[in-house]
Structure 1
């Protein structure tokens, strides 16, 4: 629907302004040419900007150790658009007239990188260490906020201006580096250097990333241009994420020949995880989330009136291209009443069609919000909701030592069921399996379907032996009563499942570590013949009080 609406606007714009020269605009990127800006390359190379009447120049950043603040470039008028991060909201609150148009990344890619040999395992270990980051600090706020959230004195932060090169970290001249999870980890892996990511999300700091913005002056002066640029850019991003290999070819041939294909593919894969384009519309921004980001970024987390943000967030409905105005100008020169009536009728129909598109989009967005946290088949929480809950439990563990366990459950030989009886029977088995699990866990436990026939349970305040006991109870619930799905020739199906268990460990650096260990235990259960319960045993130091 959004694509149809954008095409409709472009057709109308072409009809009205066919004799108008393309408007020249400059986009100040926040870094060097790479897949990070794939959507803008796609919009330029596939003709989306040209169709919108725009002559766009993409200006890279960070070459030769220099860095131009995109905010300063846009506010000064040196560029009309820029790419920044969530620190943009602080610039706005400090009086800079900027307007956020779209958030390319739903989760920021910014993270601290440390070498494994440094011994730095968490944010507390970084106090009094040499931290290389981007100045001005508004470009690094999401990396600094975890220190304040954890009560670390700002005077203990030894911040060093970045030179946009990993070599000082590799040589031991600095202890931590302000990096992008889509970029620098690949470079370290290529060199065979073990590293750790210290992600702000582990400390409750979950900001938007790569925010497209303009200035209030530009929006007031050229609202039609801003609307066209926004629509063409989002169309470019949708194209880029649907055709990553084609855009990688374009980047290598025209923008960044020094980048390897493997590096750009690494970027594309990592960015997809941060964008979640299959669940959330690219560019989507939640005003409530922006409000919370603003409160976190300001001193003492002071409350901010949401009205203050009205001028910060771009409202496309307030700035739609003024089609009627242009059509009136076109019809003034005409003396044929029939043509005037025909144009008026045409506009009316287009407006009705656009209104239907808007209503359909709003309905679709409501449905997406529901789908984003619910598995449609079983009604359980889905992977996205599970990941959110897992990170919440991990933060509670870091702050209060509230231990938790994870049980991974996988239906044995599920493919045989689908192949033998068909997918409707398989779906019935999945649904009944989910209900049996749901009806036999505690109210405090959290159950989700995280894959095809894979489920996961988070058990707060539960240690490994108790988790094993509960897994064995669930195993009996599954095994003791055959499944009777319709369409299986009334033959009872004996279903079994494999269980993998892991508990959070004192030396865990990220929530995903617990999940990975549970998955290893699950693999062992399946490898040992299935219908097994396996507890992870490894070198990770579990709390001594688990027994």
Structure 2
């Protein structure tokens, strides 16, 4: 099993809602996210002089951000008008994207609809999602085929499921609600992010990531069975691009330049996942002791989450009306009764693709 870095856990580390909520009062009206006070540049989205870009990642610098690495490595951000790029790692010791963007410490960052929903609903935080890398989330309930396989939501009845506190717990509760399952029908066991309790038989299922813990367990020779949330009633997008409403209004061209660079980077990551994994292991995450085989598997596995029939038609990072509505419906199930317009703004990507037809 992968032991270095520490087991790479998932969803709840994405948002650190407690920290974000604690600081939201001071941050809600803070200056918009942004890394440069440079002029907004020309309307073509690529000829501005924007200075340095601060981009907050939702997790450690593993293969999950292959598109960002390729965009930096191949000079796409520089061509878009940025003098340098600071990819800010998230993770156990990192700060949530919501907090970073609201405070102005980052112009843009990656999170998820469920990450921004509590802050938008409860604190009226001026956040918007302007695009998404993962069209389909990788959240899953992992079980072992040679122990107690869980292949359908109905199989959860009577089982012990390891779930991390925070956003993961909220996601799991939404998953149960979406499938008409009462929480009393099973036992929710508090766990951390290492799937060892599943291996030890302390739980029958473990809340994790298809592209992370599931792969780590497979590489350790375990008979892994997945129950993907996205295929069973909870179709959240993930690695969504979060900004402030103010930056949409005042740094529009700068944001569009970021999107152009990211689209080019993720296009390369889809075509060459091995290179994205290599950059994670040997360059951007070289201090983490990442395993090349695991990172390559992750980079390849996430291609199907990033590139879909809808992105083939509309372009990478885009969010279709149907996808956004499914996310809103899932958020309502999770207790966040807001409208599509409260969460999403697709206008920047629409302009980007209209002004840069070569990106398709």
TM-score by length of 1: 0.50
Q: Which residue of 2 aligns with 1:232?
A: 261
Query: What is aligned with 2:180?
Result: 151
For 1:270 and 1:181, locate their aligned partners in 2 and report how far apart those are by CA, in whole Å: 8
**1:163–1:78 Cα change, 3 Å:** farther
Q: Deviations over 1:264-309 (max 9, x none)?
A: 2211221112222673521010133212321232158898655xx1
Highest Rg: 1 or 2?
1
Offset of residue 204 of structure 1: 3.1
Contact 1:49 1:56 in 2 (8 A): yes
**Structure 2: unaligned runs, 5 residues or longer:** 1-41
Match of 2:110 among 78, 83, 88: 83
The alpha carbon displacement at 1:146 in A equals 2.6
- The structure whose RCO (Cα within 8 Å, separation 6+) is larger is 2
Partner of 1:269: 300
Q: Secondary structure at the match of 2:143?
A: strand
Q: Match for residue 12 of structure 1?
A: 47
Deviations 1:144-195 (A, max 9, x none): 3331022222455655555322223222334332211112222112221222
Asked if residue 34 in structure 1 is aligned to residue 62 in structure 2, the reply is yes
1:316 aligned onto 2:348: yes
The one of 265, 282, 302 equivalent to 1:253 is: 282
State how far apart, in whole Å, the 2-side matches of 1:73 and 1:160 are.
Answer: 31
CA distance in 2, matches of 1:300, 1:245: 36
Alpha-carbon contact 1:90-1:294 (below 8 Å) kept: no
CA distance in 2, matches of 1:82, 1:160: 31
1:74–1:82 CA contact under 8 A, matched in 2: yes
Q: Classify 1:29/1:155 alpha carbon distance in 2 versus 1 (closer, same or farther; 3 Å).
A: farther
Q: Residue 45 of structure 1 corresponds to which residue in structure 2?
A: 73
| Residue 317 (structure 1) shift | 7.1
Deviation for aligned residue 1:28: 2.2
Contact 1:142 1:200 in 2 (8 A): no
Superposed, which structure 2 residues align to 1:509-524 within 5 Å?
Answer: none
Alignment equivalent of 1:126, drawn from 141, 151, 156: 156
Measured on the aligned residues, the alpha-carbon RMSD in Å equals 3.4
In structure 1, C-alpha distance between the alignment counterparts of 2:343 and 2:174, rounded to whole Å = 25
Cα deviation for residue 123 of structure 1 reads: 2.6
Q: For 1:114 and 1:260, how far apart are their aligned partners in 2?
A: 23
Deviations 1:51-99 (A, max 9, x none): 3333321122325xx5643223322334332211231462334433211
Question: Higher mean Cα deviation, 79-88 or 188-197?
Answer: 79-88
Inter-partner Cα distance in structure 1 for 2:291 and 2:334:
44
1:170 aligns to 2:199 (yes or no): yes
Task: Kindly provide the CA deviation profile for residues 19-70 of structure 1, in whole angstroms up to 9, marking residues without a partner as x.
Answer: xx71342x2222222211001111112222223333321122325xx56432
**Distance in structure 1 (CA, Å) of the matches to 2:114 and 2:331:** 8
By how many angstroms is 1:129 displaced?
4.6
**Counterpart for residue 101 of structure 1:** 130
In the TM superposition, residue 100 of structure 1 has moved relative to its aligned partner by 0.9
- Unaligned stretches of 5+ in structure 1? 1-6, 321-353, 366-547
Q: Aligned partners of 1:154, 1:180: CA distance in 2, in Å?
A: 21
